[in-house]
Amino acid sequence: MESTATKPQFSEAAKAEIARICKQYPEERRKSAMLPVLHIAQAEFGGWVSPEVQDLVAEVLGVKPIEVYEVSSFYTMFNLKPVGKHVLEICRTGPCMLRGSDELTAHLERITGAKVGGPASEDGLFTLKEVECLAACGFAPIVQVREKYYEQLDTPEAVDAMLTELRNQVHRPALPWEETGLPNAVANN
């Protein structure tokens, strides 16, 4: 990541959403908003939370930066390194394995050129990430991309349909507090 001289700032829409969320907890318990605000930060700043973005979260919540770092490093949903435009989170746990998640992962590595746990594909479009159970075992195998579940990806056609949909997304889907989704970030490996 190139060094950013300018400090990251939340959009006005995100600031309003953060203010709404913080009101859900007792005033002296603003830290409770940690996880929801980290989710917003990841959506605002290209699918990952840089140290600068985490410092911003600390500032917004009125906590020390270390309190954000220790949380962001504990929970698997927060990407601490730059990612491609689309992060494909492939479930690898038992029930998905029984219905072909190993084959799905191998297939996705072949057609995107990215490797699980590695940098994004050369075109910057896809990052592959293996995750544990996504609680959709009856519809296995599953891939999650942002807030969407792609289910029953047990045929090449189903996988192609998912990838085509993602390739055609210029902007990520809008979140409830946004008029339009932000443009997809460009991967920067």
**Can residue 33 be called a binding residue for another protein (CB under 8 A)?**
yes
* CB within 8 Å of 146: residues ≥ 6 apart: 43, 86, 87, 172, 173
Question: Is residue 95 at the binding interface for another protein, with CB under 8 A as the rule?
Answer: yes
Closer residue to another protein (CB): 130 or 188 = 130
131 binds another protein (CB under 8 A): yes
Strands 126-131 and 143-145: unpaired
Of 59, 70, 122, 160, the residue at the interface with another protein (CB under 8 A) is 70
- Beta bridge partners of residue 87, listed in sequence order: 127
Q: Of 134, 159, 166, 187, which one interacts with another protein (CB under 8 A)?
A: 134
E strand or H helix at 130: strand 126-131
For 26-38, give one letter per residue: b (16+ CB within 10 A) or e.
Answer: eeeebbebbebbb
Residues that bind another protein (CB under 8 A): 24, 26, 29, 31-36, 38-39, 61, 63, 67, 70-71, 74-78, 92-95, 97-99, 131-140, 144, 147-149, 176
